[in-house]
Amino acid sequence: MTTPTTGRKILTADEFIELVVEWTEANQAAIAAAWANPGEGWEDWIRIEITRFIQGRFLAADLGRERHVYTDTSKQCDFVLNGQVAPDPARRVVVEIKTQSQGRLAHFRGDFKQDLEKLDELAGEYRYAQRLAIGFFFTKDAGAATGKLFSPVGARNLAEFLNDYHRVYFSSKYKPWRIEPDEMADDLVSRAGSPKLAQERDDVFELGMVWWRLDPLATAEEEEEEEDDTNSSVESSDESDAEQSDSTSTRTKRGVKRKRADDDSDDPDDSDGSGGSDSPDSSDDESDAMSDDESDDGETASPPPTKKPKTGNTRQG
């Protein structure tokens, strides 16, 4: 039995994946037996067993527990790695586990995609965390179980869907077979599409694991840029308000001057007896004022800078 290491252990997403692969390889019979039981309970079982295995290796590993990390507080994640031991949210990993129940292989594709979409809904500081989705499935009924075999056409469609992701196939005869995204294995597709091969009880690739890692929804740099854009917009708005205020003050002063000029021209004691509207100086002043008014009225506030869009759901792999 391995003696667990002590001290704080920060688990990266890659380390977690490798530990899960190691546990799966060593527990294929137990997984097949749990999968064959009716209901959804084996997803809880697999989460508990993975926790026991990793903490048996690293006593101080922080796997967290089901937590409310989503905008919809009714939803929970399966793991938050390093949630307590890593003050920096960027070192945390939010993990979703999806297991294919017996008789639901045709639905596994949609269930796994729902977990990926769910990881796009992280809230608060968890938006800085890495995101990881892992799924467990059987390419056909496991030898320890009984039931209707999955159709060859459906199996082929599943194999083609899984080609977009990392996957590992396990066998009691061979070491785990790892396949990278877009590396379609012709042998596997052929096996999945053949009714004869799909029903062979010694088909070694029964248990599979698929996984995909996503970048954080937000980074500290993006938050700083967003804050700078907001501050710039506020400053621009304040400057525009100040300019409008100065323009209004100027027009008011000019209006007062024109009123005084009109009052002087209407004075009955005016020495030349002429009306204000015929005065060349008054006409020039009014023309200049109108020109200034038209120029001032044409001023508009400069628009705030366009907010930089976020790109949270970049697929990292």
74-103: pLDDT as tens digits = 999 999 999 888 889 999 999 999 998 877
> 5 pLDDT band (50/70/90 cuts)?
low
Q: Which residues contact 252 (CB under 8 A, 6 or more apart)?
A: none
29/142 Cα distance (integer angstroms)? 9
Q: Check residue 190 and give its pLDDT.
A: 63
With 0-12 CB in 10 A as exposed, 13-18 as middle and 19+ as buried, what is 236? middle
**What distance in Å separates the CA atoms of residue 178 and residue 189, rounded to the nearest whole number?**
15
- CA dihedral for 269, 271, 277, 281, sign (positive or negative): negative
For residue 297, pLDDT beyond 80: no
Return the number of other C-beta atoms located less than 10 Å from residue 314's C-beta. 10
Q: How many CB atoms lie within 10 A of CB 168?
A: 18
**pLDDT reading at 167 higher than 70:** yes
- pLDDT value of residue 112: 95
pLDDT of 213 reads: 97
What is the pLDDT confidence band of residue 151, given thresholds at 50, 70 and 90?
low
Query: Which residues lie closer than 8 Å to 259 by C-beta, 6 or more apart?
Result: none
285: CB partners within 8 A, 6+ apart: 257, 258, 261
The per-residue pLDDT for 232 is: 62
Let me know: does 215 contact 314? Beta carbons within 8 Å. yes
Instruction: Say which DSSP state 4 is in.
Output: P
Confidence of residue 4 (pLDDT cuts 50, 70, 90): low
DSSP-assigned states of every residue in 159-180? HHHHTTSEEEEE-SSS--EEE-
Q: Is 196 exposed, middle or buried (0-12, 13-18, 19+ CB in 10 A)?
A: exposed
Rounded to the nearest 5°, which phi and psi values hold at 78? -85, -40
Q: Chain-wide mean pLDDT for the chain?
A: 73
268-286, pLDDT tens digit by residue? 554 444 444 444 444 444 4
Angle formed by the axes of helices 280-297 and 220-265, nearest 10°? 160
The mean per-residue pLDDT over the stretch 303-317 comes to: 47
Residue 292 has pLDDT above 50, yes or no: no
pTM above 0.75? Answer: no
Give the residue extent of every domain in the chain.
13-218, 221-297
236-267 tens-digit pLDDT: 666 666 666 666 666 655 565 555 555 555 55
What is the reported pLDDT for 276? 44
3-state SS, residue 100: coil
pLDDT at 121: 97
Which of 297, 285, 290, 279 has its CA nearest to residue 258?
285
Which residue stretches of the chain are H helix?
A: 13-26, 28-36, 41-57, 105-118, 152-162, 186-193, 195-198, 220-265, 280-297
Instruction: Tell which residue, 147, 139, 222, 226, has the closest CA to residue 185.
Output: 139
Mean pLDDT, residues 300-311:
40
Higher pLDDT, 209 or 283: 209
- What is the pLDDT, as a whole number, of residue 273? 44
Q: Choose among 295, 303, 304, 302: nearest CA to 247.
A: 295
Determine the average pLDDT of the residues in 208-215: 96
How large a percentage of the chain has pLDDT more than 70? 53
The more confidently predicted of residues 225 and 124 is 124
